[in-house]
Amino acid sequence: MTRKALPALPLAKARARRLWLRAQRLDEPAPFGDGPGATRAAVEHLGYVQIDTINVIERCHHQILYTRIPEYRRDHLRHAQSVDKSIFEYWTHALSYVPTRDFRYYAGAMRREWRERSGSFSSVKDKDLRRVLSLVKRKGGLTIRDIEEDAVDKDHLWASRKPSKRALELAFYQGKLTVSQRTGMLKTYELASRHFGWEKAPQPAPEREVLDYLLDRALRSQGVVSLESACYMDASRKPAMRRLIERRVRRGELVPVALEGSDLAHWVQPAALDAALEPARGVHILSPFDPLVIQRRRLHLFFDYEHRFEAYLPKPQRKLGYFAQPVLVDGVIAAVIDLKTDREQQRLLMQRWTWVTERSRQSHKQRIEEALHRFERFQLAR
């Protein structure tokens, strides 16, 4: 006998936004406290914090943490990665900081990833891989600058002229090496076992547990989930994820909801339907790589705002600016500002300011300017 599917309960867009903001901890001041421990708590709650190399203003991993930890300092991230080792770098949908407690959910990918990326590492010779692993084992953590070797012709424009760089990256993706610290974008590679103090590395979680982990992470950090949001940039897992969601619905652990204005299926945990939610308060300048922004279609669906990342567009085609950032005011995206840090003159430059709604102009301008002053002080503090 076929079990009848549960009807989807209506979910107003305003409540869906509130649930997502609550899950992202963007609806209250200092939700993770302060000090180095707040960084660990934030990464563990969000599940990952994306790393990016663009340096027009603050690098996105620092900005994402600052947005949720007003007293955040860059050294707190260094402490979490290099001292208490509660976070490590690996690939999610992009290179990210992820919680060390979750290592086993990435260990399977470490065994597969280098094979799936074999085209990228086809130029790495076994002797180069053995050489860099031997060097790290004998000398301790190394950066690419610490390895002396003859340069070779590049395979492509972005490749390194040092064979050891690709070998280090391959060993990283295999999980043999980990990034023990960063100085700017310069990475120090160390043996994973020595860095974490493991006699034996965590065993890879079975795929069924990985799926549970990914769905739980999405529910914790998104509040309202869809198949697309739980499997962002991971389409191969969608069929299995759908089956997992359906099982949880049958067990009463998830409830299907019909999001206002959308035909896309969404689900929430039952407690979310009756949870008391205070109105979101505060002003947040959001990195284009913030978890609230990076899934552009979801952002548009929930906030009726379509973000454009225009850094790679020719200047005449830009409408918002090279590195435009949405500004969240009391739970609403009120404006988009294109910023640039002038490090020589020690100031934050306003390239362009775009209002999302005309009403926002009058009621929010002063509060956004105050937030910009705070952000400038954070930008320039070293």
> CA 238, CA 254: separation in Å to the nearest integer?
17
CA distances from 313 to 19, 309, 310, 320 (A): 33, 8, 5, 11
pTM over 0.85: yes
User: Which pLDDT score, from 0 to 100, does residue 291 have?
Assistant: 97
User: Which pLDDT score, from 0 to 100, does residue 157 have?
Assistant: 41
In which residue ranges of the chain is pLDDT below 50?
1, 150, 156-160
What DSSP character marks residue 317?
G
Q: Which CATH number fits domain 105-196: 1.10.10, 3.30.70, 1.10.357, 1.10.1740?
A: 1.10.10
What would the two tokens of residue 128 be? 């180069």
> CA 30, CA 173: separation in Å to the nearest integer?
34
Locate the domains of the chain by residue range: 105-196, 283-380
User: Which pLDDT score, from 0 to 100, does residue 158 have?
Assistant: 42
User: What ranges in the chain are assigned the alpha helix state H?
Assistant: 13-23, 36-46, 60-68, 74-78, 104-116, 126-139, 163-173, 192-196, 207-222, 227-230, 238-250, 270-274, 296-303, 358-380
- Cβ count near 340 (within 10 Å): 15
User: Which pLDDT score, from 0 to 100, does residue 54 have?
Assistant: 82
> CA 210, CA 206: separation in Å to the nearest integer?
6
> CA 278, CA 267: separation in Å to the nearest integer?
21
CA distances from 45 to 172, 196, 207, 343 (A): 25, 21, 22, 32
